[in-house]
């Protein structure tokens, strides 16, 4: 009876899309890690978006007494130039998150394009593309990142490009091997027999079958990009006018925060970098677990 009622209710709700809501709830139940990860990410994005509302003061205003301890007026105290650290901290989330998303998205787009093309067409195209990928994989990431960032000059755009340039190759490798696996499956052959174009088979069927890998790789890439950005910023290669969490730690290091043991200055941004990276790792972890690649072969 219970079962019957439920299905009736669902059928009735179907036209207004509430059935999808029910499915979404089910999905959340089955993906606990992802729920945790996604909630953290949502919270961070909200903080970034609402920074102007949430911040108690203008982050660049330098009129406060320097080196104030955390208190009700200044939750994280003030820095050497008399700026409010908490306001800086909120605004810095924008840069960190934006760089993470942008760099990862560029890297994944390149990686997926290379992996799909190489995996689907095989032959000489594959040799060429995967050879190039291997070449990029061989380059030691950190030195080249530092070199490029200092050569291109410090700007947010350059940091994004440098990270993207070094992150696409692992994606290309993973996508490539999954595509090889999928393209040999029977349904691809029947699609070919039924006159669908290569373009359509690759972009609809093969990419859909690769999506769990792509999503996992994307969220891993965001985590890595955020950490790489923090690293570059800490080394002073970030944009000096667009302070990120890494940049805040760099400031704390260069301007006496570490020396005078003002831990509130660098622990908050450091902790946020860890939290954000963990959240993205959690999201990718779940999709690795729920991957059906094992049942498929």
Compute the least distance from the CB of residue 52 to other proteins, in Å: 41
Nearer to other proteins, 192 or 289 (CB): 192
Alpha-carbon span 44 to 221, nearest angstrom: 17
Nearer to other proteins, 209 or 224 (CB): 209
Nearer to other proteins, 197 or 254 (CB): 197
Alpha-carbon span 205 to 121, nearest angstrom: 15
- Return the residue matching tokens 């200092």: 150
Nearer to other proteins, 6 or 192 (CB): 192
Alpha-carbon span 73 to 229, nearest angstrom: 31
Compute the least distance from the CB of residue 215 to other proteins, in Å: 12
All residues at 6 or more sequence positions from 24 whose CB lies less than 8 Å from its CB, including other chains: none
> What does the H/E/C string look like for 42-111?
HHHHHHHHCHHHHCCCCCCCCCCCCCCCCCCCCCCCECCCCCEHHHHHHHHHHHHHHHHHHHHHHHHHHH
Q: Which residues bind other proteins (CB under 8 A)?
A: 185-187, 189-197, 200, 205, 208-209, 211, 292, 296
Nearer to other proteins, 170 or 209 (CB): 209
Compute the least distance from the CB of residue 285 to other proteins, in Å: 20
Compute the least distance from the CB of residue 220 to other proteins, in Å: 21
Nearer to other proteins, 209 or 242 (CB): 209
Alpha-carbon span 145 to 228, nearest angstrom: 9
Compute the least distance from the CB of residue 204 to other proteins, in Å: 8
DSSP class of residue 289 equals H
Compute the least distance from the CB of residue 11 to other proteins, in Å: 11
């Amino acid at each position: 009876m219970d079962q019957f009622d439920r299905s009736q209710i669902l059928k009735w709700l179907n036209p207004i899309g509430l059935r999808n809501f029910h499915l979404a709830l089910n999905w959340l139940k089955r993906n606990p890690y992802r729920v945790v990860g996604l909630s953290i990410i949502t919270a961070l994005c909200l903080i970034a978006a609402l920074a102007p509302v949430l911040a108690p003061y203008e982050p660049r205003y330098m009129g406060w007494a320097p080196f104030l301890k955390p208190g009700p007026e200044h939750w994280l105290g003030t820095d050497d130039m008399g700026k409010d650290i908490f306001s800086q901290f909120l605004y810095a989330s924008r840069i960190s998150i934006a760089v993470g998303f942008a760099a990862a998205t560029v890297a994944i787009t390149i990686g997926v394009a290379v992996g799909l093309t190489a995996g689907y067409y095989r032959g000489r195209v594959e040799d060429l593309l995967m050879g190039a990928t291997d070449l990029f994989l061989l380059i030691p990431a950190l030195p080249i990142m530092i070199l490029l960032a200092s050569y291109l000059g410090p700007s947010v755009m350059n940091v994004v490009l440098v990270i993207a340039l070094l992150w696409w190759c692992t994606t290309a490798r993973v996508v490539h091997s999954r595509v090889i696996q999928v393209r040999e499956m029977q349904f691809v052959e029947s699609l070919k027999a039924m006159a669908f174009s290569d373009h359509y088979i690759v972009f609809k069927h093969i990419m859909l079958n690769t999506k769990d890998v792509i999503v996992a790789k994307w969220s891993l890439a965001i985590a890595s990009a955020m950490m790489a950005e923090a690293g570059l910023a800490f080394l002073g290669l970030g944009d000096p006018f667009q302070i990120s969490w890494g940049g805040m730690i760099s400031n704390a290091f260069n301007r006496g925060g570490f020396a005078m043991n003002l831990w509130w200055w660098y622990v908050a941004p450091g902790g946020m970098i860890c939290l954000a990276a963990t959240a993205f790792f959690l999201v990718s972890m779940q999709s690795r677990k729920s991957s059906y690649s094992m049942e498929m072969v």
